Amino acid sequence: MRKLYFLLFTFSICALSFGQDMVITGVFDGPLTGGTPKVIELYVIEDIADLSLYGVGSANNGGGTDGEELTFAGSAAKGDFIYVATEDPNFVAYFGFSPDYVSSAAGINGDDAVELFFNGSVIDTFGDINVDGTGTGWDHLDGWAYRNDNTGPDGTTFVIGNWSFSGVDATDGCTTNASCGSVYPIGSFTTTLSTTDFNQKSFSVYPNPTNTGSVNVVSASTSNYSPINVAVYDVLGKQVINKTMTSEKLNVSSLNTGVYIMKITQGKATSTKKLVIN
């Protein structure tokens, strides 16, 4: 049974790193009839062969998660944008092209939150799913919010500093995006750091196995100067160490003999390693 727990936990940790291939980049609450177009914009960070692993859902008026309301289909290439809207005609009228998906999942006002799912788990969030956004810093009624370049995905915690906002009522009276005084920066998100810039070989952990009470954790990158965070989990999934490194040496003297999983994060790069304590 312990081996089964270990295998399942290892799979879940590794799966989350693959899930960082997509990010929420924009939300739009339109000025046309019925408050349309209502839009969720997403960006594909790396090629995705199976989009059915991903989906979105909206959380309305602080009522908590509604789960995955739309599951994507097909595949997507690095650099693609995906647009989800509640309807097609007003989206076309305002932006000049058709959305990729028409779904009630995009039925958001400026006070609603959005969740991006990978394999059933939330990997990115806009807004607070348990808070009505009216009057908050992320309120964008009759306006928009757009992710800042080179940020995200942010997991289950909304990072408001990673977003720019039009303000409330910014698009009132507008009929097209191009002619609006507050232009939604559609399809403009960029990222210079992709998940393939760092892979399992980008971090070294040694000695491993170890009986010395410590291991060295070293990044192979010569251009990423972000601090390295290391989380260590036992075979039951319990976190036993969580440390932001100030040197290459990680103290593991508190760990009993056995096998552990290390999740190593530097900037937007995440790697998992098996750690053996003798």
In tens, the pLDDT along 136-190 reads 999 999 999 999 998 999 999 999 999 999 999 999 999 999 999 999 999 999 8
pLDDT for the residue numbered 1: 43
- Predicted model pTM: 0.67
pLDDT for the residue numbered 58: 96
CA distance 153 to 25: 9
CA distance 95 to 75: 24
For the chain, state the CA radius of gyration. Answer: 21
Give the burial class of 208: count Cβ atoms within 10 A of its Cβ; 0-12 exposed, 13-18 middle, 19 or more buried. Answer: middle
pLDDT for the residue numbered 261: 85
pLDDT for the residue numbered 10: 47
Q: Which residues of the chain have pLDDT under 50?
A: 1-18, 193-201, 222
pLDDT for the residue numbered 87: 97
pLDDT for the residue numbered 196: 44
DSSP strand pairing (81-85 vs 101-102): parallel
